[in-house]
Amino acid sequence: MIVAMHGYGSSAENLMAYSGLNDLADAHGFIVVYPQGSLDKEQKAYFNVGYEFHAQSTVDDTGFIRRVVDDLRARYSIRPEEIFATGMSNGGDMSYLLACQAADVFRAVAPVAGTMMKSTFNECQPKKQVSVFAISGTADNITWYEGDEENTGGWGPYLSVETVINGWVQRLGKTKTTSHRKTFEEDDPIAIFSYTTELGSEQVLLYRVEGGGHDWPGARFQWWDLTRFVARQTMGFGEHQDLDASTEIVEFFNRFRTPKAG
């Protein structure tokens, strides 16, 4: 099962539409669930990951997601060791938070355009090892790749993408290797950093999209575009249509699934 979480001010319906995860669920045999965040004072949907302007919020989204998982496990035959989380922006931040606070539930997480608040990073003590696959653009103008520890943007202090990734590398005790996916075009500006060891199956993976913005690469339409029913002639948008984040995420999660017998 994959728990997929929307960005700040967006919705479960939007993420379901632009990610294309439903089609991949049919092809790969998994359940995908799209939780809907709470509304804040600005009437924008959010997951409570510790933004400065949500400092007074008492919403427990880790507990909420746990209840969602428990409810679906009671209804369907879901292997407890094959539960994953992904999300866009605020949903990506929530994926990291779940890796810290619900490692007993989630085998791996895949945040897109997400990061960790400084307080979350410092307090993160997962009960079990969780694999992490991050996709981030270096020109993201909302979740800054270099972070914002001085809180210039008003979200609250958060760390750079690579600081976050290095933190997970240290938690898992990984050795860094660097490679480039041959399936991408030769001039495509996507650097891939893979952190693995020979022992264990945990892994940390980062796709750094040079010049990439605040988006879900390969999305079926712009994630902030509410006119999602406008016909599209291509699978993606922007400069990185050869990178389909949804496909890459599913392939990553599939590494931790037990093959079906027969």
pLDDT in tens, 113-129: 999 999 999 999 999 99
pLDDT score of 202 more than 50: yes
- Summarize the confidence of residues 180-206 as an average pLDDT: 68
> To the nearest whole percent, how much of the chain has pLDDT over 70?
83
Mean pLDDT check: name the lowest of 81-85, 115-119, 175-179.
175-179
Residue 239, pLDDT above cutoff 60: no
Q: Smallest Cα–Cα separation from 202: which of 106, 120, 118?
A: 106
Kindly report, residue by residue over 217-233, the tens digit of the pLDDT: 988 765 444 444 333 33
- Answer yes or no: is pLDDT of 262 > 70: no
- For the chain, what are the domain ranges? 2-254
Is the CB of residue 246 less than 8 Å from the CB of residue 20?
A: yes
pLDDT band at 178 (very low <50, low <70, confident <90, very high): low
- Helices 61-75 and 90-101 cross at an angle (nearest 10°) of 80
Residue 189, pLDDT score: 76
- Top CATH class of 2-254 equals alpha beta
Give the CA distances from residue 128 to residues 45, 71, 73, 100, 188, in Å, rounded to whole numbers and listed in that order.
Answer: 30, 22, 20, 9, 35
Name the pTM for this structure: 0.89
Percentage of the residues of the chain whose pLDDT score is greater than 90:
73
Question: With 90 as the cut, is the pLDDT of residue 254 above it?
Answer: yes
Please say whether the beta carbons of 214 and 137 come within 8 A. yes
- On the question of pLDDT at 187 being above 90, the answer is no
pLDDT at 198: 56
Rg (CA), the chain: 17
**Measuring CA to CA, which residue among 205, 204, 210 is closest to residue 190?**
210
Across 183-188, average pLDDT:
54
| pLDDT tens per residue across span 39-50 | 999 999 999 999
- Average the pLDDT over 249-256 and give the result: 94
Identify the residue with better confidence: 193 or 64.
64
The arithmetic mean of pLDDT across residues 132-143, rounded, is 96
The band of 195, judged by pLDDT with boundaries at 50, 70 and 90, is confident
Q: What are phi and psi of 98, to 5 degrees?
A: -65, -35
At residue 92, the pLDDT reads 98
Q: Per-residue pLDDT averaged across 127-151, rounded?
A: 96
